[in-house]
Chains A and B, each alone.
Chain A
Amino acid sequence: MPEPYDPLQPGEKEVIAPTGQGGPMDLALEEAQSLEKTLEPAGPGPQEKARSLWSDAWHQLRRNPVFVISLLLILFLVVISIWPQLIASGDPLQCDLSKSQQGSEPGHPFGFDTQGCDVYTRTVYGAQASITVGICATVGAALLGSLLGGLAGFFGGWWDAVLSRVADIFFGIPVILGGLVLLSVVTSTTVWPVVGFIVLLGWPQIARIARGSVITAKQNDYVQAARALGAGNGRMLLRHVAPNAIAPVIVVATIALGTYISLEATLSFLGVGLRPPTVSWGIDISNAASQIRNAPHMLLWPAGALSITVLAFIMLGDAVRDALDPKLR
């Protein structure tokens, strides 16, 4: 996470930025502004501090509507996945067969599914499984991937060669196939087998990114200087290389979070991901798919919720990448 922006007052100036700056892609303007800012310290400003990559990125992100919207959306999703009772009063497992596939009625805005369960309640409760799987799998894959990839990039040699070949092997296995084979023998109804599987197939991608950015970072002059001053491997890695190599990993991990949620739903849809009684959008979509001709609402609500969740994480990652990588602007 970027550290909070240090309010050294230049923020005051941006408030009067032209109101036409609506779109996230208003790049020329942003470029001009950031250029203006880099020129600014020449003046007699009150001890203007040089901005780090992070505070610069945070500064840009704050004014990016895509970032703000997706962040708010994600906060909302996290809150309702912890306390679904806040907006849904019913019980997702309590169903009334006599209402099978009926449309909306007062108190049940999204209608009922084949079992007569309230689609609204199930859609709200479905967030929990998706968000849990997404966050746990991303944290796991990011930790494992950046640790293995970072060490491979830093030390090089045979460890690097072995790790790169192992990553190649994992890339060679089609994800959905691997999921079908590995998870079809699992009988657990918790989220952990799915999380474990996603970590298993997700870490090579992150390791590749981490390896590349560590190799770039370790060639910098200040790292050579630290070595010349007698810093040990541990200190160099933690104090000099890691902080300068972590940005691409964070970006890829954020985007991956969205795709992991989508992958979980796909596996659940195929019947090998999460299993009932866990409430999951993938399972509900799978059950609704065969009934799409009679009751499309059963499919559209959970599918919409799933798509918006994935979209929020992908947009967040996209905005963060634009902010962290000045070359893309």
Chain B
Amino acid sequence: MGRYVIRRLLQMIPVFIGSTFLIFLMVYALGDPVAALFGDKAPDPATAARIRKDLYLDQPLWKQYLHYMGQIFQGDFGTAFNGQPVTELMASAFPVTLRLTIVAILIEIVVGITLGVVSGLRRGQLVDTSLLVLTLVVISVPVFVTGYVLQFLLGVKWGWVRPTVSSDAPFNELILPGVVLALVSLAYVTRLSRTSIAENVKADYVRTAVAKGLPRRRVITRHLLRNSLIPVVTFIGTDIGALMGGAIITERIFNIHGVGYQLYQGILRNNAPTVVGFVTILVIVFLLANLLVDLLYAVLDPRIRYA
């Protein structure tokens, strides 16, 4: 187990370097962070050159990258162009997005798996067919449409929830944004667990469990569900990374000042240190979530052993 984890962590290194270098390249090679600092005005060449030297931007790109990564591993993510340290922005943004992600993942797990079990056990019946069609519809409607429509209906027209989220972003205000964020993945979780359940319900061990007189509830939760969850867990694990970075649209609609909001602002203003810093953290989250999923397999299915 320990050796497996170490091997996986080592395998992550090239992927981590590749992803972060790619983003670094995009931000620093495509845009000009110094020109962005001056907005629409043309910078004075001498000042621009001095800033370039201060910010290490006069070096070749690979050297800049090494320098930057060296700083990051000492905990220095640089300074955003308004003078605020990037770590400070992170400290305010990540807890908010984390709360939003937790709400979304919980909704996915509870509602998605329940619906999947219900329709998987009633395969081919009306409930199943209508749930399948419904999931396809949910997958097809883009997030920004569901977001605005739900915000308008629930928040403005009927006044059930606050249409926007205050700057503290407590859990109770994040329920509607969480639903919007989770909706598409929720549909995938439902479909995945349905397929998996429908496949396993015919398995011998289920018949054995029924035959030896176990209550239906126990057969479903203990035997069927546990064996059907592996593909679902894989999906949810990869989704954690996607949700944390993909919340750009949801955060924009509901005015949530989280990671997505900071990134969007950073990209619009060509604020290079913010963008690269946040993306680096997101890549790490993504890679760790994938590792966690692989380790969870062994918990769900004791036949899987990591040597």
Which of A's residues lie within 8 Å of B, judged by CB? Answer: 23-28, 165-166, 168-169, 172-178, 180-182, 184-185, 258, 262, 265-266, 269-270, 285-286, 289, 292-293, 296, 299-300, 303, 306-308, 310-311, 314-315, 318, 328
Type the 1/0 row for B132-174, where 1 means its CB is closer than 8 Å to any CB of A.
1000110111111100110010001000000000000000000
A181 touches B152 (CB 8 A): no
Would you list 6 pairs from A and B whose C-beta atoms are within 8 A, ordered by A residue? A172-B283, A174-B282, A174-B286, A180-B248, A184-B268, A318-B136
**Known A177-B263, A185-B30, A292-B148: A314·B15 in contact at CB below 8 Å:** no
**Known A172-B15, A176-B245: A182·B142 in contact at CB below 8 Å:** no
A180 touches B124 (CB 8 A): no
A307 touches B141 (CB 8 A): yes
- What CA separation (Å) do A258 and B279 show in the bound complex? 27
- What CA separation (Å) do A23 and B31 show in the bound complex? 53
Cross-chain contact of B140 among A27, A172, A262, A300 (Cβ < 8 A)? A262
Q: Which residues of A contact B15 (CB under 8 A)?
A: 165, 168-169, 172
Q: Which residues of A contact B142 (CB under 8 A)?
A: 262, 265-266, 269, 303, 306-307, 310
A311 touches B26 (CB 8 A): no
A270 touches B248 (CB 8 A): yes
* Closest residue of A by beta carbon distance from B245: A174
15 extra interchain contacts, Cβ-Cβ under 8 A, other than A165-B18, A292-B148? Answer: A23-B129, A28-B124, A165-B15, A169-B19, A172-B287, A173-B23, A173-B283, A180-B263, A182-B30, A184-B267, A184-B268, A265-B142, A293-B156, A299-B145, A303-B141
**Known A166-B18, A184-B267: A266·B144 in contact at CB below 8 Å:** yes
Cross-chain contact of A314 among B27, B139, B275 (Cβ < 8 A)? B139
User: Is B264 an interface residue when CB atoms closer than 8 A count as contact?
Assistant: yes
Type the 1/0 row for B248-259, where 1 means its CB is closer than 8 Å to any CB of A.
110001000000
User: Is B14 an interface residue when CB atoms closer than 8 A count as contact?
Assistant: yes
Q: Which residues of B contact A262 (CB under 8 A)?
A: 140, 142
Cross-chain contact of A181 among B136, B139, B275, B283 (Cβ < 8 A)? B275
Cross-chain contact of B148 among A176, A184, A299 (Cβ < 8 A)? A299
* Closest residue of B by beta carbon distance from A172: B19
Q: Which residues of B contact A269 (CB under 8 A)?
A: 142, 144, 249
Smallest distance from the beta carbon of A304 to chain B beta carbons, Å? Answer: 9
A307 touches B195 (CB 8 A): no
Q: Decide if the interface of chain B is mainly helix, strand, loop or mixed.
A: helix
B144 touches A174 (CB 8 A): no
Q: Which residues of B contact A168 (CB under 8 A)?
A: 15, 18
Cross-chain contact of B249 among A27, A165, A270, A310 (Cβ < 8 A)? A270
**Known A172-B287, A181-B30, A328-B195: A266·B249 in contact at CB below 8 Å:** yes
Q: Which residues of A contact B108 (CB under 8 A)?
A: none
* Closest residue of B by beta carbon distance from A327: B199
- What CA separation (Å) do A219 and B279 show in the bound complex? 41
Smallest distance from the beta carbon of A30 to chain B beta carbons, Å? Answer: 10
Q: Which residues of B contact A25 (CB under 8 A)?
A: 124, 128-129, 132
**Known A181-B27, A185-B31, A306-B142: A173·B123 in contact at CB below 8 Å:** no
**Known A169-B15, A169-B22, A172-B283: A26·B245 in contact at CB below 8 Å:** no
Q: Which residues of A contact B141 (CB under 8 A)?
A: 303, 307, 310
A172 touches B152 (CB 8 A): no
Instruction: Please provide the 10 A-B residue pairs with the shortest distance between their CB atoms, ordered closest to farther.
Output: A174-B245, A169-B18, A311-B140, A172-B19, A310-B140, A303-B145, A307-B141, A180-B267, A185-B30, A181-B26
User: Is B39 an interface residue when CB atoms closer than 8 A count as contact?
Assistant: no
Q: Which residues of A contact B69 (CB under 8 A)?
A: none
Smallest distance from the beta carbon of A211 to chain B beta carbons, Å? Answer: 17
- What CA separation (Å) do A117 and B218 show in the bound complex? 61
User: Is B246 an interface residue when CB atoms closer than 8 A count as contact?
Assistant: yes
* Closest residue of B by beta carbon distance from A168: B15
Q: Which residues of A contact B267 (CB under 8 A)?
A: 177, 180-181, 184
B152 touches A292 (CB 8 A): yes
Smallest distance from the beta carbon of A93 to chain B beta carbons, Å? Answer: 24
B152 touches A27 (CB 8 A): no
B148 touches A178 (CB 8 A): no
Interface set, chain B 267-300, CB cutoff 8 A to A:
267-268, 275, 279, 282-283, 286-287
* Closest residue of B by beta carbon distance from A269: B144
- What CA separation (Å) do A204 and B175 show in the bound complex? 34
Smallest distance from the beta carbon of A213 to chain B beta carbons, Å? Answer: 18
Q: Which residues of A contact B246 (CB under 8 A)?
A: 174-176
B249 touches A176 (CB 8 A): yes
Q: Which residues of B contact A172 (CB under 8 A)?
A: 15-16, 18-19, 283, 286-287
- What CA separation (Å) do A308 and B241 show in the bound complex? 28
* Closest residue of A by beta carbon distance from B282: A174
- What CA separation (Å) do A180 and B262 show in the bound complex? 13
User: Is B242 an interface residue when CB atoms closer than 8 A count as contact?
Assistant: yes
B140 touches A314 (CB 8 A): yes
* Closest residue of B by beta carbon distance from A25: B129
Q: Which residues of B contact A24 (CB under 8 A)?
A: 129
Q: Which residues of A contact B128 (CB under 8 A)?
A: 25
* Closest residue of B by beta carbon distance from A306: B142
A173 touches B22 (CB 8 A): yes
Smallest distance from the beta carbon of B252 to chain A beta carbons, Å? Answer: 8
- What CA separation (Å) do A89 and B264 show in the bound complex? 39
A27 touches B123 (CB 8 A): yes
Q: Which residues of A contact B144 (CB under 8 A)?
A: 266, 269, 285-286, 289
B18 touches A174 (CB 8 A): no
Q: Which residues of B contact A306 (CB under 8 A)?
A: 142, 145
- What CA separation (Å) do A259 and B199 show in the bound complex? 27
